[in-house]
Amino acid sequence: MAIGLRPFKAISFDLDDTLYDNRPIIMTAERRLLSYLAEKHPVTQDWGLDDWQALKRQLIQQAPMLAHDTSAARLATLEQGLMTLGYARKVAAEAAQQALAYFVEQRSDFRVPAEVLALLTRLAESYRLVGITNGNVDAHRIGLGELFEFVLHPGNGTRMKPYPDMFYQACHRLDIDCDQLLHLGDSFKADVQGARRAGCQSAWLNPAVGREPQKNAQGQLPHITCSSLDVLLALID
């Protein structure tokens, strides 16, 4: 179900798993980071992904705002892990910064599919385009730098979707009312509910449309539901 669009002036896009399949990218980046750490810092060789993730959960429990900053959480995890394994704080801090930079480089080591870039280029003829993501991908490296006016990430006091913080920031920077922004994303909770909480319009990218019932009965409905980006273009073009 959906409630229908009203006129809007700008479109914001979630990035991960909306404009590209992020899961294999992250899995590859995680593997490369482990190899990097083992080569640069042999004391980490016995630590696997589960060990690092367990430490991350522990640190977020101690400092909940880390949950709203992907890069800060990873940096804190790397630094604390290296200190746990015997590094002095200063050395661990420097090594963690280098490892974080390596990870962001690896998780941004791809290009948004050409057909998606073509779709965005067409939309940019009629609407202002921006990105609103909970992740830390480098939008310029993946081909979005020239299409999006800006990309917002959480952190430094700005909370992740579904909190409305980044939607408010986007509308302020675009100098538009919140209901003049249409946000498109794949997550019912983060994208649809986040946009609706901020008073923005929402488009839910849900490949299951027409094939199985929608199971998200709670929360506000999206303004439109799309099975693909191509369908979105047909609906708003």
Catalytic residues: 14
Exposure of 176 by Cβ count < 10 A (0-12 exposed, 13-18 middle, 19+ buried)?
Answer: middle
User: Cβ neighbours of residue 49 under 8 Å, at least 6 residues apart?
Assistant: 30, 34
Please confirm whether the linkage preceding 154 is cis (ω < 30° from 0).
no
Which has the closest alpha carbon to 81: 127, 121, 50, 113?
Answer: 50
Contact 131, 150 (CB under 8 A): yes
Q: How far is CA 114 from CA 12, 24, 119, in A?
A: 19, 18, 9
- To which H or E segment does residue 132 belong? strand 128-132
Contact yes or no for 14/132 (Cβ under 8 A): yes
- Please, are residues 81 and 47 in contact by the beta-carbon 8 Å criterion? yes
